[in-house]
Amino acid sequence: MAMEEYLIEQIKTSILKINPEASLPEITIEKPRQPEMGDAATNVALRLGSVLKKKPVDIAREIADGMDDPSGYIRSVEVAGPGFINFRFDHSWLFTELKDAYEKEHAYGNIELNKGKKIQVEFVSANPTGPLTVGHGRNAVLGDTVARVFEWTGADVEREYYFNNAGRQMRVLAESVRARYLEQLEMDAPFPEGGYEGAYISDIARAIREEHGDRLASSENMDVFKQAAEDEIFKDIQRTLDRMNIKMDSFFNENELYKGPIDDVMKMLNEKGLIYEQDGATWLKTTLFGKDKDTVLIKSSGEPTYRLPDIAYHINKLDRSFDLVVDIFGADHIATYPDVISAVNACGYDAKKIDVVVYQFVTIVKDGKPFKMSTRKANFVTLDELMDEAGADVTRFFFLMRAPGTHLEFDIEEAKQAGEKNPVYYLQYAHARIKSIMRKALETQSYDQQKPDFSQLNHDSEITLIKRVLEFPKVIEVTAQNKEPHRIINYLNELATAFHKFYHDCRILGEAPELAHARIGLLNVTAHTLANGLTILGISAPDRM
């Protein structure tokens, strides 16, 4: 049983001793902000004040006095402030848990929170109109890392890329390619208004010319240009994702929804009395979902707004028997995605299975100034260009280092720097240093990896490092529940800091064999924990740097 569960059971037992008829509130265990306050704390006494008609501080003392702790894993129980209860763990518990972590090695941190669940994460989902830019990076890395966290907690995860290869964007793309094709044939080629101006358009046109010569010069058919552009751009997108250590499991084309699913949605909404005609348009009664006004579902031109295919798409997802479907959306969706979820729910589907992670957009800083990007104006920094400069590991790390709901300023020059100023270097270097220490230690003395006696460890820096290591499974659990990978980064920084303090205070060479072996064992677990955390983030854990 995890210590958190053990403490909750002991607290419940003690409360019922005070009052067997007491209605138990939710009991939460938290890590105190200050280490001197103990290893864990609960505010349950504050919640019981009105129930037991006593001062919370008196209730806290009674709970503390009534705890049995048959395992002996709780060193002390202390009452603090107006009624908080603080716990300190006995070292015997630390050593038992550390031994378990040691034996699990690269499986350490795997928990069964989502065991047996089938989860889909949809992310990237950029239409094939150009290369992936730094503007797409946060979506791509956040989505992939959320999927990795779900996998680490036992889920069967499918990564899906949703795209639309029809509509005005693709028409303008085809016209742009054709214009460059005609230019290369030295023919008049008026460039479309709002066309795509990037060099990649000329490259696609050149490939078409090499394959077809001038045979397409007099053709008004855009299909060849559109298909060539789509194929080449998707190849480029997939190459970029490969470099970022991202593998998609499935691709879903929005066009598939126009072959029946959208008609089915319109029929369901009509039967529910949720749509009506006005001014030549079809409206969704979003006022029934709590909005101030209704929303256009199909324009007077007959073109659907994006909500309609999105409703059909999410119903399609739920029809595929996912236990949870997660969307990774930019902040521009924050006011509109609730319409989709409400409509799905109104159609009789369990919308609670839909979860949305909304992230704030990224400001790119170049040469010390904000850099405004535009794919159409070819004024952008591609993810490939960024990885050429900073590397895939640094690129992933920078997109994950802040909470999704927090604005992220991506300074390209800072990301390119190596050394201590680069935060990912700090974590990778800690792992590499541990591996180096272990290599040197094992060169000078024999080491039975099956029998480190962790009870040899009692230095404050050893105990602090053990406690940080043992927090890892809980960090994974909370990260999965909140879908916030930056929590893992924050944890790994604390772990690396604890390691460096241990390294400064505790030597291995020259110590008694039992102590040296115990310290090597602790380093082994620490290295596995760092590597496991970096793996979840999609970042490498080098043995040498």
- 76-127 pLDDT, tens per residue? 999 999 999 999 999 999 999 999 999 999 999 999 999 999 999 999 999 9
CB atoms within 10 A of CB 477: 19
CATH of the domain at 252: 3.40.50.620
What one-character DSSP code corresponds to residue 287? G
The pLDDT of 257-267, averaged and rounded, is: 95
Spell out the residues 6+ positions from residue 531 whose beta carbon is closer than 8 angstroms to its own.
Answer: 106, 431, 541
pLDDT band at 8; cut points 50, 70, 90: very high
Q: Are 273 and 146 members of one domain?
A: yes
**374: three-class secondary structure by DSSP:** strand
pLDDT one-digit tens code per residue, 490-503: 999 999 999 999 99
Q: Is 405 inside a domain boundary?
A: no
pLDDT one-digit tens code per residue, 468-484: 999 999 999 999 999 99
Is the predicted pLDDT of residue 448 greater than 60, yes or no?
no
What would the 3-class secondary structure string for 62-102 be? HHHHCCCCCCCCEEEEEEECCCEEEEEECHHHHHHHHHHHH
CATH of the domain at 491: 1.10.730.10
Q: Is 40 inside a domain boundary?
A: yes
Full residue range of the structural domain in which residue 32 is found: 3-89
Q: Are 125 and 273 members of one domain?
A: yes
What one-character DSSP code corresponds to residue 255? G
Least confident span in 139-148, 326-335, 357-366, 401-410: 357-366
Total residue length of the chain: 545
Of 2-16, 365-379, 441-455, highest mean pLDDT: 2-16
Q: Is 425 inside a domain boundary?
A: yes
pLDDT one-digit tens code per residue, 380-402: 788 998 898 888 999 999 999 99
Is the predicted pLDDT of residue 522 greater than 80, yes or no?
yes
Of residues 185 and 71, the one with the higher pLDDT is: 185
Q: Is 381 inside a domain boundary?
A: no
Is the predicted pLDDT of residue 366 greater than 80, yes or no?
no
Of residues 373 and 428, the one with the higher pLDDT is: 428
What percentage of residues in the chain have a pLDDT greater than 90? 74
Q: Are 137 and 273 members of one domain?
A: yes
Q: Are 497 and 75 in contact (CB under 8 A)?
A: no
Q: Are 262 and 146 members of one domain?
A: yes
Would you give the distance in Å from CA 465 to the centre of its chain? 26
Q: Are 156 and 222 members of one domain?
A: no
Is the predicted pLDDT of residue 376 greater than 60, yes or no?
no
Q: Given the DSSP bridges, would you call strands 324-330 and 118-122 parallel, antiparallel or unpaired? A: parallel
Q: Is 372 inside a domain boundary?
A: no
pLDDT band at 358; cut points 50, 70, 90: very high
Q: Are 325 and 224 members of one domain?
A: no
Is the predicted pLDDT of residue 545 greater than 90, yes or no?
no
**pTM assigned to the model:** 0.91
The pLDDT of 287-316, averaged and rounded, is: 94
Encode 212-224: b = buried (16+ Cβ within 10 Å), e = exposed. eeeebeeeeebeb
CB atoms within 10 A of CB 281: 15
Q: Are 291 and 143 members of one domain?
A: yes
The reported pLDDT for the residue numbered 378 is 56
